[in-house]
Structure 1
Amino acid sequence: MAAPLGFMAAALMLGPSGRWLILLAAPLMAGLALWLALLPPDAAYLVGQWDLPLGILLRADGVARLMILATALVIGAVGLHALAEPPEKPGHAAQAETFWPLVYLMWAGANAGFLTTDLFNLYVTLEMVSLAAVALAAMGSLAAALRYFMIALLGSLAYLLGVALTVARYDTVDVILLAQVAEADLATLLALGLMTAGLLIKAALFPMHGWLPPAHAAAPAPASALLSAIAVKLGFVILVRLWFEAFAAVTGPAALHVLGGLGAAAVIYGSIQAMRQDRLKPLVAYSTVAQVGYLFLAFPLVAGTVEPSGAWAGMTLHGVAHMLAKAAMFLAAGLMLKAVAGDRIADLGGLAQAMPLTVTAFGLAVVSLMGLPPSGGFTAKFLLLSAAIEQGAFLYAGVLVIGGLLAAVYLFRALSACFAPLAGAGPDTASRGPVTGGVQAVAPLALAGLAIVMGFAGTALVDVSAIEAPWATPTVIQPEAAP
């Protein structure tokens, strides 16, 4: 948590030279994330050694370990990609300079949000990530960024009001302590409803997704990759903390099925909207709407069985696989669109020959997002599908299958366009010239490759996801006695 903040301060002081810090930050943060993932299962730290409820607990459970490791890989790769090609518009040189402090701010906020169990500190981390995300979105479209800002502000206020009601009712905002005392009264239900509504906006779950497609599609490719891979995941992780830990005794099957129903609707709606796009980046952005739906589709599957390990692992691994594959897809899409000097899918002809590494990265990302073996996306969706069939939740099972088929339709349409013969000489094709992708193609190829390799480490990743899971080994920490 501290290292990205230090890099942010250094990047602000160094100005244009701050971009070179990524050469140190990427390996350092990857090493720290790997160290965190290998810590003993009960790894936790009370900030300042203050006991709960005054202290703030940082806990490295399975979700935090995998999300922080994926965040380090994604931001490191995106940063190295941006180092080769700064995300700036003509006449906006300062944009490339401000990009780096925003990246480190988002990095610090995401890591802190994945680790902390304090609801108010989770609000602080949400604001850190949202501030960086809005500024990154503004690099592409000020109008889309302002829309994002207003909607994100509404979500933040709803979440903060829910936190205020919680502390007024229970005198604590720690997730672990709330799990021991939460009751299904009006104040608690209202607080949970407000926090959930605010976080659903942050996570861009249908029908609260309206800010996502314009912001992601208009932003520069590195910014789009961070928005899709990192920004929406923090809201989801906090919802997991609320529904399966803090208020697990309050949430009922009906409420969980509401979230599952919204997730199912997101899969279908996002897929249909992606099929209707004739431009590449909006297609990839609507794909995010659909893929986020799978995360919430898992909520009733986790709670609906005596042994939720499969559904829990499927939900967690899908979040990680989506981070890797979607970041790779946005980076590859940025290179492809730059090569054709446009954004229409119909203009992508000939790219398979002109820039094979980039198109390969895009194709590998497609494999994972569709859920084809041997990718991490396949492992995640197989676990979710197995859980749905075991529980007799055939509606959710059908959505998982249909969503994969729809993803094949819209993603293969974009991929197949790259293999089409080059169109006749026109302004776009004439200016294309010989393109290979160069060193910039390495970052999306590495991320997409990791999404595929995840499938070969399925058992190990499932075991990591179960560390300190609320259904497996609930942590009981007694608050400090009052004097």
Structure 2
Amino acid sequence: MDPTPGGVLLILAMVVPVTGMLVAFAMGGRAAERIALGVVPVGIGIALLLAAGVLRAKAPIVAWVGNWAPPLGLALRVDGINAAMLLTTALILGGVALHARADYATAPGAAEARAPLAFWVFFLALWTALGMAFLGSDLFNLFVALEMLTFGALALACLDGRATQFKAELRYLLFALIGSVLYLLGCGLLYGDYGTLDVVLLARAARPDAATIMAAALMSVGLLAKMALFPLHLWLPPAHAGAPPAASAVLSGLVVKASYFLLLRLWFTVLPGALAAAVAPVFATLGAAAILFGSLVALRQARLKLLVAYSTVAQIGYLFLMFPLVAGATDGLGSAAWLGGALQAICHAFAKAAMFLAAGVIAGVLGHDRIADLGGSARATPLSVWAFGLAGLSLMGIPPSGGFSAKWLLLIAAIETGQWWWALVIVGGGLLTGGYVFRVLSASMADSAAPPVAAAKPVQERVALGLAIVSVLLGLMPLGAFGLVRIGLLP
């Protein structure tokens, strides 16, 4: 695919945060905060321009790095669904930056500390890696983006420096490295078979031979390990349990989505449709197991952050229900299932980020996150409890939230394609989600004799509430507005 007007924006989407990262590292912690906060509006503006450009042209925007065409050079490509995820990424990272400023700011006259510098530098590194993951059009360079994401997320999660957190993150690292090896082996097989790893060129040449099937299997297992789909979820709850709220919000809301969208691109863009149809029930079965297992375990958790972490395990499962629904639809990628899956990913990102940020505020005010002792938190930090509740409504699929629209589209697709059993999973998962959300809200509204140990920081509460409101308002947008996510998809 030849370069198109607006390709410079693809370059800027990565150059701006990586330049900010390098300058922040060179100038130190006090300047790093200001640089990161300055990158936020620029990044949001670039994401908006890219989404508007794709919507206006009704076609992807493409750029060749160094003006070298694939397979000799690298192409950057943004279609509708990637443009939507870039905008989602920019908005959530902007909210996380405002939330984290209260914890990682360097006061005038105070000595600089390592934690603020590390946070803002790795925050910008994550932004760069997410941009690479959503704009890349070469499977090996997408691997590089995923590795940057892994190590950036590890650094943010270990920022407090506690030994128990290092142990949890080492488990995350182990799963991520195993996933990387498997993914890289798959890339090697594809390159040996076709002589290229460019997504567009592979889509034209891929055939269902033994090497392609083996490569797809290796890459898929590697990506599933990175995004913690059941039963490869063992690293995710411990990694969240002690991580700073800002790190958990980014990890749950955005980092796992990069692997998911690469998996979508692999199966619905690169590989022949017959292979996608064959493997789709396997993915959906794992997704259904994740929904039921994650929700049931979340109901039994004693700590709030662990409850939200197991909720992430469950909600990831919904993303995989779209595989057989898209494969079974007569209009394929134009189906309600594709739209519902894309909307589920976006709403989940906002809702989970809001939940983790709200849980962090509640834990900071009370001095703990024991669910049984959350009494009084609704009075001490009302906006955070509201944020948790609104995000929970979206995850449950209660109208008029974005989660409802996404699950309704998946339900329609399940019925239209005659796959009613996935509809039962969607409804059952929503009921289980309501159970653990209600458990937290009821505990928060109970009376308590124990006074709060700290005051809530208003900006942190407002950010969490704002992200939760977005997850609800997405359900009020006309579905025609989400036609963006169908633009530029390769057959």
Shift, 1:194, TM fit: 0.7
Distance 1:444 1:431 in 2: 19
1:280 matched to 2:293? The reply is: no
Report the equivalent of 1:230.
254
Deviations 1:394-433 (A, max 9, x none): 11100000000000001111122111112x3xxxx23536
Q: Is the 8 A contact 1:118 1:175 kept in 2?
A: yes
Shift, 1:178, TM fit: 1.1
RMSD of aligned Cα (Å): 1.7
- Paired residues in the alignment total 463
1:445 matched to 2:469? The reply is: no
Report the equivalent of 1:111.
131
Q: Is the 8 A contact 1:358 1:437 kept in 2?
A: no
1:12 matched to 2:25? The reply is: yes
Report the equivalent of 1:411.
437
The correspondence of residues 61-460 of structure 1 with structure 2, limited to 5 A, is: 61-86=79-104, 93-140=113-160, 141-249=165-273, 251-308=275-332, 309-422=335-448, 424=449, 429-432=450-453, 435-460=455-480
SS of the residue 2:477 aligns to: helix
The amino acid of 1:75's aligned partner reads L
Distance 1:176 1:116 in 2: 11
Q: 2:42 aligns with which of 28, 32, 35?
A: 28
Shift, 1:300, TM fit: 0.8
Shift, 1:183, TM fit: 1.3
TM-score normalised by structure 1 residue count:
0.93
Q: Is the 8 A contact 2:280 2:323 kept in 1?
A: yes
Q: Is the 8 A contact 2:102 2:457 kept in 1?
A: no
Shift, 1:87, TM fit: 9.3
Deviations 1:307-360 (A, max 9, x none): 242101111111111111100110010000111111201121112122211111
1:45 matched to 2:63? The reply is: yes
The correspondence of residues 458-477 of structure 1 with structure 2, limited to 5 A, is: 458-470=478-490, 474=491
Distance 1:126 1:98 in 2: 20
Deviations 1:89-113 (A, max 9, x none): xxx9422320111111111111111
Distance 2:472 2:272 in 1: 34
The amino acid of 1:4's aligned partner reads P
SS of the residue 1:335 aligns to: helix
The amino acid of 2:138's aligned partner reads D
Deviations 1:263-306 (A, max 9, x none): 11111111011011011000000000011000111111111111
CA gap 1:326/1:87 in 2 versus in 1, 3 angstroms: farther
Distance 1:84 1:157 in 2: 38
Distance 1:57 1:250 in 2: 27
Distance 1:356 1:430 in 2: 15
Q: Is the 8 A contact 2:283 2:323 kept in 1?
A: yes
Distance 2:463 2:234 in 1: 29
Range 238-247 or range 440-449, more displaced? 440-449
Range 232-241 or range 369-378, more displaced? 369-378
Deviations 1:205-226 (A, max 9, x none): 1111111010012101011111
Deviations 1:431-472 (A, max 9, x none): 536x454122111111111111111224244211111123xx
The amino acid of 2:86's aligned partner reads I
Report the equivalent of 1:59.
77
SS of the residue 2:151 aligns to: helix
Report the equivalent of 2:4.
none
Distance 2:308 2:273 in 1: 38
Q: Is the 8 A contact 2:80 2:484 kept in 1?
A: yes
Identity among equivalent positions (%) equals 48
Q: Is the 8 A contact 2:359 2:388 kept in 1?
A: yes
Distance 1:384 1:312 in 2: 8
